[in-house]
Every structure is written in C-alpha cells, then in structure tokens.
Amino acid sequence: MRQLSLDSLIPSYIKTFEAYIPSKPDEELKKLYRTPFLHRLNNNENPLGPPPKAQEIIKRFQPSRAAIYPSGDSFYLRQRLAEKFIMHPDQFIVGNGANEVIAFAIKAFCETGDNIITADKTFAVYEWVATFSGFEARLVPLKDFGFDDKGMLEAIDKKTKLIFICNPNNPTGTYWDKDRLIRFLEAVDNRQIVVVDEAYFEFVEKEGYPDCMSLIQKYPNLVVFRTFSKMYGLAGLRIGYLAGSIDVVDTIRKTCVVYSVNTLAQEAALTALDDAGHIERTRRLVAEGKEFLKSELKKMGLFYVAGEGNYIMIRLPISDTLAYRKLMSYGVMVRTMTGFRFPNFIRITISTMPVMEAFINALRKIL
C-alpha cells in the first residue's frame, strides 16, 4: 500500500496554524484538580440560564421531533427577528452560534490574496477563520484598550474585504459610541464590509452606544452579529445570527450550510426574545457583581479593565496560566488571557454574588 504523504496535502497556512484546545468537561476537571465543585467563569455565560419561557419550551420538546430535520433557514425565527427590528426576514441569517456566521461572511467575500482587518486583542475567531482559510488577518493594536479607528482605516488596502469591530470589545469592554462608529462608516465609504459584532449588545445600558440594526438601511456594507449565547443563556444550544442589507445577506447566504441550526435552538431562541424581564434581571445581577469585584480588586491593589459586558479583565502579579491552575484547585475556572495577547491577565464572567465571593476568596488565597 502506498504511504500517505500528508505533508504534501496540507496547505502551508494549515501547517502553521495551532488548533484551539477546548476545556475538558466539568467532571473530568473536578477529578483532575480534586475539587468537589466547579464555577465556570471562563465563557461569559449567563448564570440565570435561559429566560423562563425558553426553559418551558425546552422542557416540553417532544423527543420524536428529534428525528425530523429542522427548518433549513430558521423560517419562523427570521420572521420574528424581522418584526422585532422592522426589517425583512431575508436580511437575517441564523447560524450555529455567531461563530458559524463569522465563517459564512469571510467565505462569501474573501479569495486568495485578500485580507480582513480587526484588532490584535479581541475575540479571536475572526482572526482564526481568516488565517486557517488562507487569508491574511491584519491586526491593528488596541489603543487605550479600545479599537483604534484611525489605525484600522490606515490598514485598509485594495485587498481588504472585511473589517471586524467587536462592540463592546471582548475582553476589554470598551465600545465605540454612535458618532465614532458613523464617522468610521463614512470614512470606509462602502469600500469594505464592516462587521460589528454585538454579542454583548443586550448588556450595554450606556447612552450613546449604537444599535447597529438601525444603521443597516443607511450603510448597506454594514453587517451585524448577535448571539443567543450570552444574554439569552442558550450557549449550549448554539444559535446566533447576522443581519445586513438584502444584497449583502443574499451573497453571504450562498456559503451557508443548511440544517446547521437545530429545531430546539430555533424554538428556544424565538421564545427567548419575548422575555424583557430576563434582560432586566441579568443586567441587575451583572451590575451588582461588577461593583463588588471592582471594590474588592481595588482593596487588593489589582489593576483591572472593566467596561461593558458581563466580564472583567484583571492583571495578576503571577502568570495567568499558573493562576488558572491554582484557582482551579479552589473550584474556580477563569479565562487565561495570554491567548488574547494579554499575558498575566485573566478574564472572568460576572456571576451571582456567592460565586463572586468564592472567586475573590480563592484569588486572595493564591496571591
């Protein structure tokens, strides 16, 4: 039998790409770190879970329906989104998490030699998808922990197809206000697709924070990402979406894998949108937890970066990977930030008060 010469089959950009290693399941980690419990503060999940009405839908799901393919284009959910945002259903694409629609958008517009632009310290999936698809990811350094509009405009060239802005930014919580975003869109002047990732949109209460849905009509090159994973507590069901002008979305739709969004996710998401009380409760919880953390971190003399969103970034006097292991032995899982190019920082999800207290106690012990 002929030997497989894998080497000659693999593109160079795949050879040099390092695969992301997901964390092990809770039970495995508890054994590994000898802890009877585990608080996951690494993924910005909502400790309140899905809204009550969505929980009801999930409970009542008929097992026999698992045998039937879902709606291939999330038909009813897109109708509901269109109603909510006063747009057309065809202006939305629902994906297996916002992660999937990132890939759809890049595939739709990039070909060999093209590039995308984003920040160096932001949600890494834009960079990863571009890189392992063979496109250049131009990473413009953050300025004062926020996206640098001027630097990003300067990085644009003829081969730039998409610009990704995370608003508010994960992990720094900074955001562009409406004026700044509009100035940027005017400067780009429809030459590139501008993607604004609003994964944490529902957490932001600041005056002046832009709602990009309302800008799509004026800026046909604007694409907005939203997700049900964070505020709506449906991360485990994997559902998110993008919105844009009809022509742009029709183009992106060509790269979609149908049936990637399961029935339960579609129905839970549809119901989740109706629960305003859930958003209020979550916002209160995040506000309380954030204030508590800020005052405790101040007492401890630790530098932190706390902006919008349900997370906060903390600089430690020890390496973040060492801190991770030590905190794990106290049953607290944080996100190390070396992968985000913030060495010695950790990011933690804002959770309930007892969990925040457990985190602070563990942090005091390890430092």
Ligand X SMILES: *Cc1c(COP(=O)(O)O)cnc(C)c1O
235 interacts with ligand X by CB under 6 A? yes
Alpha helices of the chain — where are they, by DSSP H? 6-9, 12-15, 26-32, 52-59, 75-85, 98-109, 125-132, 149-155, 178-188, 246-253, 263-272, 276-300, 320-328, 353-366
**Nearest Cα to 317, choosing from 298, 299, 302, 338?**
302
Distance of CA 345 to the CA centre of its chain: 19
Longest dimension (CA), the chain: 68
Candidates 81, 119, 142, 199; binder of ligand X (CB under 6 A) is 199
Based on CB atoms, which residue is closest to ligand X, 230 or 290?
A: 230
Q: 165 vs 216, which CB is nearer to ligand X?
A: 165
Instruction: Tell me the closest approach of the beta carbon of residue 55 to ligand X, in angstroms.
Output: 18
Q: Which CB atom, from 148 or from 357, has the smaller least distance to ligand X? A: 148
Q: Residue 81 and residue 78: Cα distance in Å, rounded?
A: 5
Provide, rounded to whole angstroms, the least separation between the CB of residue 80 and ligand X: 17
Binding mask 139-168 for ligand X (x = CB under 6 A): ---------------------------x--
The yes or no reply on residue 99 touching ligand X (CB under 6 A) is yes
234 near ligand X, judged by CB under 6 A: no
> CB-hemisphere CA count at 13 Å for 313?
22
123 binds ligand X (CB under 6 A): yes
> Is residue 97 near ligand X by the rule CB under 6 A?
yes
Q: By the 8 A CB rule, do 343 and 171 touch?
A: no
Q: Do 72 and 65 contact (CB within 8 A), yes or no?
A: no
Of 58-66, 93-101, 142-150, 296-304, the window that binds ligand X (rule: CB under 6 A) is 93-101
If one asks whether residue 310 binds ligand X (CB under 6 A), the answer comes out as no
Give the binding range for ligand X (CB under 6 A) out of 92-100, 136-144, 267-275, 299-307: 92-100
Q: How far apart are CA 194 and CA 182, in angstroms?
A: 11
DSSP output for 298-312? HHHT--EE--SSSEE
Selected binder of ligand X within 227, 271, 336, 349 (CB under 6 A): 227
Is 229 a binder of ligand X (CB under 6 A)? yes
Whole-angstrom Cα distance, residue 173 to residue 168?
A: 5
Is 240 among the residues that bind ligand X (CB under 6 A)? yes
197 binds ligand X (CB under 6 A): yes
User: Would you tell me which residues interact with ligand X (CB under 6 A)?
Assistant: 44, 97-99, 123, 166, 170, 197, 199, 227, 229-230, 235, 240
